[in-house]
Structure 1
Amino acid sequence: SPVHVSNPTDTATPVYTATPTHPNSPVHVSNTNDTATPVYTATPTDPNSPVHVSNPTDTATPVYTATPTDPNSPVHVSNPTDTATPVYTATLTDPNSPVHVSNPINTATPVYTATPTDPNSPVHVSNPADHATSVNVVFKGWT
């Protein structure tokens, strides 16, 4: 279960890099006390495969693996103590900007978008149910 990225009280700044075994399979290292804003960086071998290196106090280590349909869309495989298992899929506008789709028991559904400086460096924008920065979408013109 990933840590809220857009939380105003973030202090630490985890860094993402690629894994040697599977470039599309990032490893998320985090605990519930890590309210940092992770930073994504592109890797030489595969810019779509970040690995989350958390602060020293992290204990839980969920593992991410790539999906068969889209290598830019990793699936979140949590550790035994992680009850929420979010699934990531790529966005149409930027394949490096995955959208976080949580399972039913995960009330927060963050959405990732690419940053202007680095398209491989997505920014976490949560939904209104998330206590982090929320985004409101208004639909118009329904028939």
Structure 2
Amino acid sequence: MSAPGPVLAAGCVLWRRSPEGGGLEVCLVHRPRYDDWSHPKGKLKRGENARDAAVREVLEETGHHCTPGTPLPTLRYEVNGHPKEVLYWEAPATGGSFVPNDEVDRIAWLSPAAARARLTRPADRVPLDALISAARTVSDPGT
């Protein structure tokens, strides 16, 4: 009997241009269950592809619509002894508004440097750093 595959999840590094000054801002979610700050993400539903799951999770957790663009590094880690794999995309927010819920009680739009400092899990900095790097090749995001 073979070991089960990893738990599959997907999410986005959700971003926008700041209403004040136009610098890059990243959205982080606070999950009261874990008392942590992370990128919006969640498990794939049966038969759902990862990109669709990422869009659904962003909307459910942040209230914002988004358009996933460039894939970002995939994170692989263990949760309670089981492997988990989270696929990420960079995604500009295209509208919406946050309403607190049982899963996410707060969101924060932060500069990349502030988001990097606020992330609870150091590994969550990997997709953020990839976004920052890509943004720098296009224009200075004002980090």
Higher strand share: 2
**Greater relative contact order (CA < 8 Å, ≥ 6 in sequence):** 2
Higher helix share: 2
TM-score, length of structure 1 as denominator length: 0.28
TM-score, length of structure 2 as denominator length: 0.28
